[in-house]
Amino acid sequence: MCRTKIWAAAFGLAMVLAVQAQDCPSEGGKSGGCESGSCGQVSDDSCEMAGVLCSKDKGCAGACQTLCQRAYATLKAVKTEVGRLMKEEVGHECACAAGRCSSDDCGNCETLSEKVYKPLIKVSVIRRIKKGLKNQLFHVQKDEEGKESKVACTFLTEDVVCGTCALDLATVVWKNLKEAYRSSHR
């Protein structure tokens, strides 16, 4: 079995357990937005977040579509960041984990997407919605000199991907991937 498949399988299991351990308000409670089926608008276009934020049998439109497009853009940015972190630390990237696999019907990509990335994005979207999309949130960042500054979070509120959120989520994914790999080789 190739190293990529071992990493993907171990990582998938670790992330499923990590996501299930988090307090997910969608279980038994309303999170609002598309997931609750409240958008009520349907388009002919399929939604990239179908089965995650939207019902699987229909696309979405209006505010629901905007939310799904922003969440999907963040998902793509997280995958790109995971690839960069992998390459930086181990010298190569897993094409499946980095969202660059060119194979149709790749089992590893499907597993990573369904068991790792989409649940992580779903939890992040639910948390952001609970904080209120109209509320301005900030990240505190330190520069090279250790001076802190506030940076506005744009996760789901603007058409620009929040780089800080994407990096934070990618760091969680990469950390769990490494831990899963280590635990599978003990």
Rounded Cα–Cα distance for residues 120 and 43 (Å): 26
- Whole-prediction pTM: 0.73
Domain ranges (residues) in the chain: 3-35+68-132+161-184
DSSP character string of 111-136 = HHIIIIIHHHHHHHHHHHHHH-TTS-
Answer for the pair 82, 173: CB distance below 8 angstroms, yes or no. Answer: yes
44 vs 171, residue with greater confidence: 171
- For residue 172, give the H/E element and its range: helix 163-184
Res. 13: pLDDT tops 70 = no
Among 93, 97, 95, 94, residue whose Cα is nearest residue 115: 97
Rounded Cα–Cα distance for residues 126 and 37 (Å): 14
- 50-109: per-residue pLDDT in tens? 878 877 666 688 888 888 889 999 999 999 999 999 999 989 888 888 888 888 778 888
- 123-132: per-residue pLDDT in tens? 999 998 898 8
